[in-house]
Every structure is written in structure tokens, then in C-alpha cells.
Structure 1
Amino acid sequence: MRVLAQSRELFLAGGYGRTTIAAIARAAGVSKESVYKGFGGKPGLVRAIYEQSLLGAGGSPAEERSDRAQTTVTDARELMEQFGRFAAEVSPLGAPVFLLIRDAAASGDPDMAALLRDVEDARYSRMLHNARQILARGFMRKALTEAEAADVMFACTATELYEGLVLRRGWSAEHYGNLIAKTLAANLLPHPSASGS
């Protein structure tokens, strides 16, 4: 959708506070009223842009592909590699928008502070879902609880990790995804030399 594409471009270039609905409408070739009607204002636009970024770049939404992998992949380490590939695919799209939300929340904007809480709550819920799937498949190290596994996954998918390694240290998204896959495998799966650990 053109409004979302233009909104993303303008928000990321100018920041949340300085970007106006009028500028977005002008860039998208629509009326301000239609933007308000469709998204309810700037907070709704940012939420929609963030949710769009979570779809990834594949043909079907990344979450659907992840769910499919969690039920069909038969090798636990391959599943961790899949998680790493999904993170490498989605993070370049989602991280800049998350950072926009975080910075606007830090500046005192109450709508963005509420959105930041919603985004992080949704991410934790997703990680808990993933942890339960791993546990149900019998892939998880026996000493771990699903809550501990969800916390590990939550930490590994934090935008701050992508920000530090990719945006600041210059890692490629692929290298970052590989690190996530290895970290998840090392912390969630039984050690190859230990049976039933």
C-alpha cells in the first residue's frame, strides 16, 4: 500500500515527531482525511508499518512459515537454523521501525510508549508460543522450562542485538542470523554428547 510505503520512508528519514500526516498524504497522493480514516493518525500508521515488517520478505508471512517449520522440521538443529534465517529476514525490515518507536517513546510520547509495550508483549507471547512448540516436539533440553526457553528466545530476538551487531558493528544479516541459530541451539537443545540432559 502506497500510504504505508511513504509513511515508512518519511518516518525513518525524519523521525516520528517531525513527520506529519499532511506530508505523508502529500507523498502518497491521498487526502489527510483518508489517512486518518484508514489508520487513525500517526500511532496507527507506525503500528501498521511495524506489523507489515513482521511479514518478512517471503511469499507468505514469516510467522506462518515459522509455524509450518515448527510442525514439519524433524531435526532440532535445523529448526534453530530456520529461526536464525527468519530473524535475518525480518530484522532488517522491523528493526528500524522498532527503533523509531523506542526513540519516540523515550522522548515522552505516550502513544509510542504504549505501542512499545504492545510490541514487546507480542514478541514475548510469540517466543512463548515457539518455546511450547519446541517442548512439544521433544527437542528441548530437559532441564529447561518453557518460560526459560521463551526468555532465551526473547533475548536472542531483541532489536538491541541487531542494532549492536548489524547497525553498529557492520555484521551482515546472514551472519547475525547464524549467531542466533547457534545461540539458540547451544542454550535450548540437548548437548550432542549428553543424552537426556
Structure 2
Amino acid sequence: MGPVVNASNREASRPRAYDARRRQEAAAEARVRVLAQSRELFLAGGYGRTTIAAIARAAAVSKESVYKSFGGKPGLVRAIYEQSLLGAGGPSAEERSDRAQVTVTDPQELMEQFGQFISEVSPIGSPVYLLIRDAAASGDPDMAALLNDVDDERFRRMLHNARQVLGRGFLRADLTAEEVADVMFTSTSAELYEVLVLKRGWSAERYGRFVARTLAANLLPERPA
């Protein structure tokens, strides 16, 4: 006679979906804590002086889990930088920018929306970019490689924007996509944010308006007097 299978045995043999879901939720919560504490500690203490041990302690996780999830400090910095590009919540600033590029009908309004997106993302992303830049300048090879990656990706994004907006017929006819991307890349740089906001004390809103005006002045056709 084979083994007796009763209801309790069947229940015990079923996967515990709830436990798996709870583990996933706990892992997601731990990731949020690690990223938040990493950002705070890196920006307060600098890249070189901040340790994985300190981050793990502040986030109430093990060092091993941080290494497993992010691969060390370079992976953590990349993750907090990529997180900063999402903006302040809801649909990402990038997603809203793409939507504006195909739906807004007035070129000046589009430049103003670009300025609004920059005023939202720059206070979150620019300090992390500057952290990467300074760590790269100190000779850290991982941060130098990350800086190149970030710059390359940002230019690709600006080139995408340039082609989208040129395709709408909004911009000066004498401009190439690469020239438009150069203007966008420069006007939205963390270095400009550093000068005007961090050093000169501008508000993020004033900075965003300045970016919008700069883009409009350099990219849009002159309006009839």
C-alpha cells in the first residue's frame, strides 16, 4: 500500500506563495533603504570615504546583500544616479518629455516644459553626477568609466530629443540634429546647475526658466516683430 495522502499533507506540499511574495516585498523595501542611505552617505562624505559597511549598517542589511544586489560602490552610485533620472515620482521625467515632444503644438511651450523637467530632475540627479565627476577626477577608474557611460548616455538622450523636435519642424532650419543635441547637452549639464544653483543660490524653478529661455534663444526661429 502506498503512502496515505491527506488534506494536511497536500496543504504542506503546496508552494507558499504568500511567503515568497513577502520575501520579495522585504527585498524591495531593503533595496529602497540601501539606495536612500547610499545617496545620503555618498553625498555627505564623498565617494572615497563612504564604505559598504557604513551603508549596510545605516540600511539595516548585511554587507553581503549589498554586494549581491549592487556589486559594490560603483554599482550603488550607478543605481542612485539612474534612480534620480526618474524625477519626483509618478511617470518618469523622461517619459513625460517624450510625450510632450509628440503632443505639444507650440515650440515655445515645449521649451518651457523642457525647463520644467530639468528643474525637477536636476536637484536630484546633478549632485550625484558631480559626485561621479569628482571621484573620477581623483583617479578612481570605476568612477571614470561610469562618468564616460553617463555622459555618453546623456548625449544619446539629447540626440533622441533633437531628432524628435526637428521632426516636428519646430527648430531653426539651419541646425543639424548633432548641433541641437550639443545645445541641449550643454544647457542641461550638472556643471551649469552647480554654478547657478549650488554656487549662486538660484532656486530650481529659476534655473529651469533659464534653461527654457536658453534653449528657445538658441534653437527656435526668431518670431516676427
Bin of the TM-score, shorter chain as denominator length? over 0.9
CA deviation digits over 1:80-115, x for unaligned, max 9? 000000000000001110111011000000000000
Name 2:34's counterpart in structure 1: 3
Name 2:61's counterpart in structure 1: 30
Aligned-residue offset at 1:158: 1.0
CA distance in 1, matches of 2:147, 2:224: 41
Between the two proteins, what is the percent identity of the paired residues? Answer: 79
Name 2:203's counterpart in structure 1: 172
Q: Is 1:134 matched with 2:162?
A: no
CA distance in 2, matches of 1:182, 1:150: 16
Which residue among 93, 100, 103 is the counterpart of 2:124?
93
Which residue among 128, 135, 138 is the counterpart of 1:104?
135
Q: Is 1:118 matched with 2:149?
A: yes
CA distance in 2, matches of 1:129, 1:186: 20
Query: How many residue pairs align between the two structures?
Result: 194
The residue type paired with residue 117 of structure 1 is: N
Q: Secondary structure at the match of 1:60?
A: coil
CA deviation digits over 1:123-153, x for unaligned, max 9? 1000000000111111011011111101000
Which residue among 59, 66, 76 is the counterpart of 1:45?
76
CA distance in 1, matches of 2:94, 2:150: 15
CA distance in 2, matches of 1:9, 1:182: 32
Q: Secondary structure at the match of 2:144?
A: helix
CA deviation digits over 1:145-173, x for unaligned, max 9? 11110100011011110000000000111
Aligned-residue offset at 1:58: 3.4
Q: Secondary structure at the match of 2:112?
A: helix
Which residue among 149, 153, 169 is the counterpart of 2:180?
149
Name 1:59's counterpart in structure 2: 90
The residue type paired with residue 58 of structure 2 is: A
Higher relative contact order structure (alpha carbons within 8 Å, sequence separation ≥ 6): 1
Q: Is 1:19 matched with 2:50?
A: yes
* TM score, norm. by length of structure 1: 0.97
Aligned-residue offset at 1:59: 1.1
CA distance in 2, matches of 1:186, 1:193: 14
Structure (1 or 2) with the larger CA radius of gyration: 2
Alignment RMSD, CA only?
0.8
Aligned-residue offset at 1:193: 1.8
CA deviation digits over 1:3-31, x for unaligned, max 9? 00000001011110010001100100000
The residue type paired with residue 160 of structure 2 is: H
Q: Is 1:184 matched with 2:215?
A: yes
